[in-house]
Structure 1
């Protein structure tokens, strides 16, 4: 076992960056193969080791393999997706309707990561000024899970087109618990070479050098070397 103070080896660094760059929001490539319990436990443990404000650890994990429960969630998705399609017109609307935006039934496991906004009591260290820090912390748990799942060869898809109140009713959540992320998990036939929305022309990745500012919004970087490196990435 490595000493916690040891630097990462080159192979370890490459593995981390590979997981980051090859992570995908999976909708269409799920296989029916079950996720072994030990693998699911590992990625849940990785999620549970995310940082959190005041170490409040506001997350819970609801593992969903019940078909009737997932059918209720899918019905909510279908209703909300129909509403979302009305935001677009013409060719854009047809493109939207052609997109596969969920794998609720196709994936072997659904997972809802929730945020208990009351955990830790009314005064959580570090949360006095920014009350949403518990939500941000739970997002870090989602990202930990997503990257560890990719390292295990498991795809993850975040279904965001849901009515959160309806989802709370379906999952019987307490009032103070917010359903932050509804995820589909499973092995996949392939991990796409680029994000699906990018491949289908919905959006392109923004140039990194246009998003990095120096000492204030819209100001150029003083570090010429960094500016040149950003252009390469």
Structure 2
């Protein structure tokens, strides 16, 4: 039988998991190139269905392009707020991204020509998205271990971002990632701190043998 990690290694792993936060507040600075390489390597080590490795990472280093990405997010932020009904003003008061403040800006997309990958996707084609989410989570946990904050921004119109970044027609952008130094990590998820929502207890999400309604 395989041996478990040492207690110290297990503690470090669980610490990264539980202290990871979706960060919105950054303090500029830089991410060392060697650290960024480690983070992207950790992302690339993620599991993927049929080993298709569907993720692609675009590093935004042009400030003008960063401003255009920011503008796309603000457009969707306003549209999302309008769809919130009575929570519109409350939503608009939330800080939902750190695009202009973070040290590094990454866009994660699904690769093109994904229809050629059938292994594990014939009945579940969305497994390419699940695989890419695993890569993003790897990057997130590695960033926390390196003392860096990361935030996942999904407020954008995919076709507009695709056009802006000249993506192939059959690719799909999934995430804008803000990455970099932060003054501190939130004690709790920011949306809990802002009283937007609360994490429900685990027992609401674990079932046995069949579906058991238990809405949080």
Q: Which interval holds the TM-score relative to the shorter structure?
A: over 0.9
Q: How many residues align?
A: 213
Q: What does residue 131 of structure 1 align with?
A: 125
* Structure 1 residue ranges, 4+ long, deviating more than 6 angstroms after superposition: none
| 1:80-135 Cα shifts (integer Å, max 9, x gaps) | 11111112344x3222111000111111110011111524x624321111111111
Q: CA RMSD in A?
A: 1.5
In structure 2, the gaps of 5 or more residues are none
Distance 1:84 1:8, change over 3 A: same
Deviation of residue 219 (structure 1)? 7.4
Cα distance in 2 for partners of 1:159, 1:131 equals 23
User: What is the alpha-carbon distance in structure 1 between the residues aligned to residue 209 and residue 42 of structure 2?
Assistant: 34
Question: Which of 95, 104, 107 matches 1:109?
Answer: 104
Residue 65 (1) aligns with residue 75 (2): no
Q: Which residue of 2 aligns with 1:147?
A: 141
Q: 1:129 to 1:117 in 2, by over 3 A?
A: farther
- Residue by residue over 1:130-176, the C-alpha shift from the partner in whole angstroms, topping out at 9 and shown as x without a partner, is 11111111111011110101100111111111011111111111112
Among 156, 162, 173, which residue is 2:150 paired with? 156
Asked if the contact 1:53/1:124 (under 8 Å) is kept, the reply is no
User: 1:31-85: CA deviations, max 9, x gaps?
Assistant: 2110000000001000000000000111111111211011111111111111111
Q: TM-score, normalised by structure 1?
A: 0.87
Moved more, 124-133 or 151-160: 124-133
